[in-house]
Every structure is written in C-alpha cells, then in structure tokens.
A and B are shown apart, each in its own frame.
Chain A
Amino acid sequence: MIAACLILAAGASTAHHSPVNFDLGVTDFAVTGTISNVSFRNPHSVIELQVESPDGVVTEWYVEFSSVNLLLRRGWDLDRIKAGDTVTCVGNPSRSGDPEMYMWTIRLEDGTEFGR
C-alpha cells in the first residue's frame, strides 16, 4: 500500500498537465506554503509546495507553471525561488479538486511578485 502511494506521488510530482486539467475561469486561486522542491524546465516548471492547514496537517501541492524559457523572458529572477522559501502561488485551481494548480504569479516573502 505504501509503495503504491509512493508511485502515485512520484507520478503526480513529475507529470505535466494539459490546460484542460485546470479551471482557467478562476485566476485568483492562491495557496501559501514552503517550497520543498523546485524545477525550472520545459515544457512546464514545477514547485512542490508543503501547505499546512490550521489544524497542522501538511499537504503536498503540485504547482505547475510556465516553461523556464518564458519565465526568463518575463523577467523572473529564478535565483530567488528556492527550496525552503515560503511563497504564495496564485493562478488556476485543478478541476479535479486534487492539491494541484497552475501558477501565473508568485509572491515571495518580502512581497516581491513575478507574473506575466
């Protein structure tokens, strides 16, 4: 059972989703947490975000966002987004209700924002 969960988790944390997976009509969905892993890559970048609920339960969120090429062209300072940082991710929620989202804007702890 544990092994099966691990395999599912591995799939979720490295998959790339088609836009049909996300509710593009909702653009201000926001989640705040601590980055456990970040990968700037093509076709989409990924952050694994540890999000703690008020009752102390930690859920891992899969935050997908633009390709590293487009982030660089939009002026994102990628050196400022790293594991251990607390960030707020803003964008489209998953249609399935799973802890997944597509991020368009990231807000760093000092208030700096990178977006489109």
Chain B
Amino acid sequence: MSPIKVVANLLSALAVAATVSSAAFGADSRLAGIWLPDASRSQRMPANPPFTPEGRRIVDDWRASHDPIEDDPGAFCQAPGMPSLALGGADYPVEIIVTPEQVTLLMELHQQNRRIFMDVDELPERIFPQRNGYSTGRWDGDTLIVETRAIRAITFGSVPHSDQVQVMERWNVIDDGDSLVNELTITDPVMYAEPIVLRQYYTRAPSGTRMLEYECTEGMWLEHERAREEARNRIREQGSP
C-alpha cells in the first residue's frame, strides 16, 4: 500500500470515528459546519410586537432620545446580542462546532460567539448578565434544545428586551441535511405581554466557504486619527499657545 493510500485510509477511519463519537453523545453530527441565514424562509420580529405598557414606554423613550441617523448603534459596532443575533444575520455565515461538552456558534457578523454549555447539571447561583447570556443545551433525539438566560437588557436591535428575557431554542437539521431551522421562543414579562415564537432558517454554505474576520472599529479609529492630525495642524498653524 502506498504511503498516500495509508494516509487516506487513516483519514477516512478518523472521519468515521468522529461521526461515531458525535452519535455516541447523542448529537446530530449534521449540525456541525458552516451555514448561511436564509431570509426567504425566516420570520422576522413583528413590526408591532405585543409590548406590555412598560415595554412600550421603554421603546418609545429610546426612540424619542435617539436620532435614527446620528445615533445608530450599528455605526458604533454595537452588537445587540441575544436574541437579536439569532434572527436575521444578513448574508453572514455562522460556523457551528459540536463537541460533547459545548456547542459553539461562531457568527461572522460582529464576530459574535455563542457557547452553549452541554455539561451543566445545576445552574450557577448568580450569573452575571452578558449580551449573549448564559446558554445551556441538551439533545432530545436530533433536536438541540437551548435555554438562554442572564441576558443584559438592550433597547436596540431587532428584539428590545429587559434583563428578564429568556430564550428557548429548538435547532433541527432538515431537508436531508441541506437546511437548518431554529425555532425561538422569546419570553420577557417586562417587555412583552406574551411569548414570541419565530423560526430562523439557514442553508448549508457551499463547499469551500471560509469564515472571515469582522473587524468593525477601524472607521472609528480612522476618525480619531484624522481628528488628531487636524488638531496638530491647527496648533502648527496658530503657533504654540
């Protein structure tokens, strides 16, 4: 047997082993890989969600105090976190890595990472709120069920929410492995009078797709550099004070 053939056989044996091992911990190994958001099938947050009076007040206050052009959080590279980041996503891919202990979602947009802990038997007593929250998961057959809590309150993004928001997700690979659907149930007693259920679809990215970095603050840095240079020029022209 040629050395190349030996290596090829070894690689295919490893691939089989990887499949077997993910099956062994109950995972649907098809979840792993690079996916592209599918806007044609996905549901968006309704334009008029069922706000509570308090939720309506919070959102109205935000809109009244922020100019849609000058105060666009996206212009300042602000990522809205969960649950907004699990919806939409434009044309930016998401890479999913599946291990027994953790399912990792690497979102190209805003270089956001989500870690879904698969090995949590008991929740920590105090979880400090973060934008993407604290996610725990389990496999129910081929369905990955994820619960996310301890999400920081954020008023911008597609889903304005309080720190009481909780998100239940059900991830399923469908269409013979070509598509992925995430059914989200968003519950926030402060902002919304009833749970909001939305489906976000993905298609498997074409073979050869590579994730890219998403450095976002360069524009702000260039603005700083230019302002600094102009301030120096002014001082040079006017002489030292």
A-to-B contact residues, CB < 8 Å: 3, 6-7, 10-11, 13-18, 20-21, 39, 41-44, 46, 67, 69-70, 72-73
A46 near B72 with CB under 8 A, answer no
B214 near A69 with CB under 8 A, answer yes
A16 and B74 in contact (CB under 8 A), knowing A41-B215, A72-B212? yes
Does B57 interact with chain A (Cβ within 8 Å)? no
Could you tell me the distance between the alpha carbons of A44 and B75 in the complex, rounded to whole angstroms?
9
From residue A28, how far is it (CB to closest CB) to chain B in Å? 23
With a cutoff of 8 Å between Cβ atoms, the chain A residues found around residue B69 in the complex are 17-18, 20-21
Could you tell me the distance between the alpha carbons of A10 and B219 in the complex, rounded to whole angstroms?
11
With a cutoff of 8 Å between Cβ atoms, the chain A residues found around residue B223 in the complex are 10-11, 14-15
A6 near B230 with CB under 8 A, answer yes
From residue A48, how far is it (CB to closest CB) to chain B in Å? 11
A39 near B212 with CB under 8 A, answer no
Instruction: Out of A43, A72, A73, name the residue touching B77 (CB < 8 Å).
Output: A43
Given known contacts A11-B223, A18-B75, A69-B212, what 15 new A-B pairs fall within 8 Å (CB)?
A: A10-B226, A10-B230, A14-B219, A14-B220, A14-B223, A14-B226, A16-B75, A18-B68, A20-B68, A41-B218, A42-B77, A43-B216, A46-B219, A69-B214, A70-B91
With a cutoff of 8 Å between Cβ atoms, the chain A residues found around residue B220 in the complex are 14
Please name 22 pairs of A and B residues whose Cβ atoms are closer than 8 Å in the assembled complex, sorted by A. A3-B234, A10-B227, A14-B222, A14-B223, A15-B219, A15-B223, A16-B72, A16-B219, A17-B75, A18-B68, A18-B74, A18-B75, A41-B215, A41-B218, A42-B214, A42-B215, A43-B74, A43-B77, A43-B219, A44-B219, A69-B212, A70-B92
With a cutoff of 8 Å between Cβ atoms, the chain B residues found around residue A72 in the complex are 212
Does B108 interact with chain A (Cβ within 8 Å)? yes
B72 near A7 with CB under 8 A, answer no
Interface size range on B against A: 20 to 34
With a cutoff of 8 Å between Cβ atoms, the chain A residues found around residue B75 in the complex are 15-18, 43
Could you tell me the distance between the alpha carbons of A70 and B214 in the complex, rounded to whole angstroms?
11
Could you tell me the distance between the alpha carbons of A16 and B219 in the complex, rounded to whole angstroms?
8
Instruction: Give the residue name and chain of the A residue nearest to B73 (CB).
Output: A18
With a cutoff of 8 Å between Cβ atoms, the chain B residues found around residue A67 in the complex are 214
**Which residues of chain B (192-220) have a CB below 8 Å from chain A?**
212, 214-216, 218-220
With a cutoff of 8 Å between Cβ atoms, the chain B residues found around residue A14 in the complex are 219-220, 222-223, 226
**Which residues of chain B (52-73) have a CB below 8 Å from chain A?**
68-69, 72
**Which residues of chain B (1-50) have a CB below 8 Å from chain A?**
none
A42 and B68 in contact (CB under 8 A), knowing A16-B74, A70-B91? no
A42 and B72 in contact (CB under 8 A), knowing A6-B230, A7-B230, A13-B226? no
A39 and B222 in contact (CB under 8 A), knowing A17-B69, A18-B69, A21-B69? yes
Closest 8 CB pairs of A and B: A14-B223, A18-B72, A16-B75, A10-B226, A42-B216, A41-B218, A69-B212, A20-B68
